[in-house]
Structures are given as structure tokens and as C-alpha cells.
Structure 1
Amino acid sequence: MGITDVLCQALQQRSQDLLNAMHLVSTTKSLIQKLRDDGWEPLLASVIAFCEQHEIDIPDMNARYTKGRGRYRRQDEDVTMEHHFKICIFTVAIDFQLQELKSRFCELTTELVILSSTLNPKDAFRLFKIVHICNLVKKYYPQDFTEHEQELLESQLQHYEFDVIKHPDFQNMSTISELCRGLKISGKSNVYFLIDRLIRLVLTLPVSTATTERAFSAVKLLKTRLRNRMEDEFLADNMIVYIEKEIAGNFTMEMIMEEFYSMKNRRQA
């Protein structure tokens, strides 16, 4: 929890810094993996010290682990107490956390966000790098740019670096959407039409600060103590209805019943 807290706090900030957030995802994965590989012995020593300080009985870690309760208890000859705590609890919990992070922040998504950030005009285009932009196009948008256009894009970027980035009208911009509007107003979108196309493609990425913040708020309201056993799929469905309640409010009971009636293998209650 201490390792993931920094990432959770960054994702809940009102002003999202997606580049640093993606870097935090990578460092969080690395730290959790390091905890899995080297963290058991320090954790065990810390727990033993705590138990000794507060006079709590410490189980014999070399003893056989006993499964079940009451008359159904039985010992597993191949599993010690330490093996049970380390492999069946400690490692399993960490593997679940790593799997969750990898499913929500896969390597391709993380790299896509990092490469896309090179187009951001924030801090006078501090992150601008031609090689990263070209890699972004080659890896993620090969169907939107022909081979000839990819070569031409690199030439446009060289002019763009000395023209737009140095232009005083673009120095105070902080978002890609502002940059897109600025290129259109100045007419430079016609000159750098390939860069303008790429910027518009990046703007369609499903990365929304507002949606992220609303999702975190919805979880706090929906995932209550009485609903702590709610399955992920059911929770996700409830969150969609809650977050998009303005749209959901347009549906009537009759519309829902008609939809279910029209579906095969369904019956009305």
C-alpha cells in the first residue's frame, strides 16, 4: 500500500500530469516486483520484531502448515508455515497487484502516452523530440500515414521545430488542444498538415482527466461496506450508469423492458 499510494495520489490530482503519472506506473511496477523478489525476509523480520515487542506469540515457521478447522484439520507434509505465508499469501497478493496494474496500464498504453506527450506545448515545448514523434507514427499510426508521408513528416518536423516552437504566439500554450486551435487560427495547419493530422489523432485518445476523477468518486459512493463483495463486472456496470446518469435518465422502464423482450433467450419478469 505504501508503494502504490504515490501512484494513487497522482492519479487523483485535479490537474493530471499524464507523463509523470505513466512514469509512476513504471516505477510502481518495478518497486512491487522488487518487493516480491527481495521483500519477504525484511517483512518477516519486521513482523517478528513487532510481535516480540508486544508479547505476541510467534508461530514456528518451520512447522507443518495445518489446513481446515476443528476435526477437519489436517497437516500438509510438504508445506511449512513459512511456505504458506510466503508463497500462498505474500506472493499471491503481490502477483494479484502486479496483474491488476498490467491489465489497467499495459506497456503499449504507457508507451503511447509517453510518446504522445512529446507533442505537448507545455513549458515551451520542453518535451519535443522529433525521433519520438516519428516513432509514435511508425508504431501506432502506420495506417494513417503512408511511408512517403512518414518521410515527409520528419522534414515538416524540422521546420516546425524552428517555426512553431520558437514562435511567440505558441509559447504560453499548455495543452495539445490549444496547440491544435493555434495551428488552425494561424494557418500553419495547412503548412504542417501531417503534424496537424497527428495532433488530431492524439486528441482522440481515450485519456480523460474528468472521466478518471469521476470514476474515483463513483467508486467511493458505490463500493460501500455493504457492497464490498461486489464483483468487478457488476461494479463496472453500476459505475457506468452512475457516471453517465444524465444519459441513463433518458431511458424509461418501458424502453428497458422492450429491449429485454427483443433479446433472445430472455423472458420478462
Structure 2
Amino acid sequence: MKKLIKITAVVGAIIVVLGIVCIVAGISKGGSNIVKEEIGKTFAKAKVKIEKNDTTGMTKLQNNSDTIDMLSVNNLRLDLSTASYDIEEWNKEQIGFSYDADIMEVYYLNEGDSLNVLIQYKKKWKKGERDVTVYLPRGKSYSNFNYSLSAGEADIENISAVYATINNDAGSTSIDSLQSASTDITVNMGELSIDNLSTDTMNTDISMGDLDIEGVINGAAKIVCSMGNAEMTLNDGTSAYNYQWDINMADLYVENCIDKSDFSSDGNKDNGAEKMISIECDMGSVEID
């Protein structure tokens, strides 16, 4: 009975999504003016506006050439709003920024050895470049590194932390290197790729987005996906891990190990390894090479 309810809910969700896609496709191809007018009326009635983050207690950076000292910072949080970001390293002990001050604004809050940085656009949309560069001290490692992107895109050069939290909402994030003891990853409707990952433990939660990782898990990893997709390339080979899985209407492939496309499947594969990857997936796909 539970499966029937689940199937009905899933089919209903698919119908809604397909309906939205059809409307968008119709409009993009010069569809009915009536549909366009009705959608326009809906947005007008809703008075759609872009919400800004709460900056209570935070200090606004006055000039885009200003820097913030990082010598005593062990915990760094970056909250990034819609824009195009490059997060690079430089040979200074401060965090620096490059951006158009007429378009974007930076707020920060120092609390002991913690620094919170918020970057967002101003109240009204203006024409201009939304390109932002964030400069971090080269080679610095953090106790906690917390990164969040609401939309847009970001390229990150390097992250080194004991605990790393990566939250990618509707944007696209590319990380060249991430070294941590513990990594928590959330991907909603966006894309996240990590080229060089080394972590002891990893927890991932993928809703409708895509996750692409290459690297090594030194201990245990858990992959949870709803309608999202995960691709992993393990540099030490798939046989270096044991596997547990529970999938429903999903695809699971582990090179030379597991190949499942069943309506419902659960099980485990013991390779006599010391490391473990567990997988829970509904309507998504997981591929591990």
C-alpha cells in the first residue's frame, strides 16, 4: 500500500513538472499569446521581488578594495547570492574582494575566531557586471568551512578544512580541490563538481541536481538522492570499498561490482574492504567508477 501511495505521488509530481515544461516550451517557441498574457498577469499580481538576506548585526564593506583580517579566523562562512564568482587564493593574510559596488554589496560579521561573509546584489536590478572575485589566504586551513550558493555560478580554487559544508541551491559550483576530515554536501536543483576530493567521511543529499566527484573517501560515504544524479570517480578503485544500497525506480552502477536498474532493490556488496559507501536513491541515478 505504501508503495502504491508513493507511486501515485511520484506520477503526480511528474505530470506537474511535464506541464510546466510544456508551458515554458510553448512560450519559447512563440506559443499562445493568451498563455503569455495570463502568466504575465500572475507575476504582476504576485508582485514578484527578490528577497535579500538578513544583515542585522553585520558590517557593510564600504569599498570594494577593503580587506578583512584573517589571521585569527578558524571558521569561515561564505553566503553567496546570484552572481558569477571566482574564489581564488592570494599571498595575503586577509580576505579581499573585487566587484562592482554599484551592483553588489558585501557584509561581514566577526564573532571570536569566526567570520561570516555575505555577498548579494543591491535592492534593485541594475545593468552591469555581476562578476565577483573573492581572495582567500593561500594555503590556509579552517576548522569549519561553510559555503552556500543560492544561484549563479562559482569556481573555487581550493578548500582545506576539518569540517566542510557545501550547499549548492540552484546554481553551479566547481571546486578544484577539497581536503577535509568531514564533508557535508547538499545539492538542490543545481550542479556541483569537485575535481580533487580527499575526505574521511562524506554525506551527500541530492534533490534534483547533479553531483560529479573525483577523489578518495578515506572512511565512509553516504549518498542520498531523490531525483538527482551522482557520478563518482574513485582514484583508488571501486574494489577498495564495500557497498550498501536501497533504491526505488533508480539506476545504480558501480564498475565491476553492481549494476541495478530495478523498480526496487536493496542489498550489499562485501569486497573485504575497510571502507564503506551506502546509497539511498529514489528516481535518480548513481554511477561510480
Q: Give the TM-score, by structure 1 length.
A: 0.21
Task: Tell which has more relative contact order, 1 or 2 (C-alpha 8 A, sep 6+).
Answer: 1
Q: Give the TM-score, by structure 2 length.
A: 0.20
Larger radius of gyration between Structure 1 and Structure 2: 1
Instruction: From the two aligned structures, give the one with the greater strand fraction.
Output: 2
Instruction: From the two aligned structures, give the one with the greater helix fraction.
Output: 1
